[in-house]
Amino acid sequence: MFHAQILTLFPEFFDSPLSCSIPKRAIAAGIVAVETIQIRDFATDKHHQVDDAPYGGGPGMLMKPEPVVASIRAARDKQPDTHVVMLTPSGSRFTQAKALELIEKPGVTLLCGRYEGFDERICDYVDEQISLGDYVLSGGEPAAICVLDALIRLLPGVLGSPESAVLDSFSEAGILDWPHYTRPEIFEGKRVPEVLLSGNHAAIESWRRVQAEERSKNRRQG
Ligand code: ADE
């Protein structure tokens, strides 16, 4: 079983996405176990403070090192082989290749921050830093659920057909998915491309490849 731990100030954030669809089924089937750990439980002061103002000034608050590092240690105590990932906009970009790499670990611990970020010293206690993309979310939680969802669907036995995970967009180094069509054959005057109705599998395959390459060229410059 793959073990995912989430260090967060908002464990309830994960309730809904993990109780639907594929993640729900994967958890029920015992393929993945997800545990949230409340960072605030590791604050030792009277007010359970987890954030503080930045040295040197500037807006916002930073996650304090003591409770965050204590929560990382608690995660490692529970799962000694866990791979600890900090979610931060200054991390390396998350990709399908990274997802395939992370599912080979015995488990992951996803560290979510709020406020303006983490005290830099916390970085010494994590295995890597991952960003979902070049935009700033209000916290690590939405990034963590995306990473976790991408991992769960790749775990053996989660998807109905093992082919679907393999054939997806990005599985083939940066090539986007081709366009898909289902019934009806004509929707508001728009026809399904003729080749898809032809039954000619070689022609269909070659059409899909051309479409995927064209899309990749137009939507991603390289
Ligand atoms: N926290 C805030 N923004 C983020 C992003 N883009 N990726 C990962 N974690 C984040």
For each of the chain's 222 residues, which pLDDT tens digit applies?
999 999 999 999 999 999 999 999 999 999 999 999 999 999 999 999 999 999 999 999 999 999 999 999 999 999 999 999 999 999 999 999 999 999 999 999 999 998 789 999 999 999 999 999 999 999 999 999 999 999 999 999 999 876 666 556 566 678 999 999 999 999 999 999 999 999 999 999 999 999 999 999 999 975
Same domain, 148 and 191: no
Distance 83 CA to ligand 1 centre (A): 18
Q: Which helix (H) or strand (E) holds 102?
A: helix 96-102
Same domain, 105 and 135: yes
Task: Pick the catalytic residue from 17, 54, 89, 142.
Answer: 89
**Is 153 in the active site?**
yes
- In CATH, what number is assigned to the domain containing residue 47? 3.40.1280.10
- Predicted local distance difference test score (pLDDT) of residue 165: 63
- Interior angle at CA 141, CA 18 and CA 84, nearest 5: 95
Same domain, 100 and 181: no
- Tokens read off for 22: 């594929």
- Tokens read off for 207: 């059409």
Same domain, 32 and 104: yes
Same domain, 189 and 133: no
Widest Cα–Cα separation across the chain: 71
Is residue 70 one of the residues assigned to a domain? yes
Is residue 109 one of the residues assigned to a domain? yes
Same domain, 117 and 58: yes
Same domain, 178 and 145: no
- Tell me how far CA of residue 181 lies from CA of 144, 199, 219, in angstroms: 31, 14, 20
- Predicted local distance difference test score (pLDDT) of residue 174: 81
- Tell me how far CA of residue 109 lies from CA of 3, 42, 165, 209, in angstroms: 8, 16, 23, 37
Same domain, 57 and 139: yes
Same domain, 79 and 134: yes
Distance 202 CA to ligand 1 centre (A): 42
pTM for the model stands at: 0.95
Is residue 185 one of the residues assigned to a domain? yes
Task: Pick the catalytic residue from 116, 128, 149, 172.
Answer: 116
Distance 137 CA to ligand 1 centre (A): 5
- Predicted local distance difference test score (pLDDT) of residue 116: 86
* Domain region containing 186: 174-219
Total domains in the fold of the chain: 2
Same domain, 62 and 8: yes
**Is 116 in the active site?**
yes
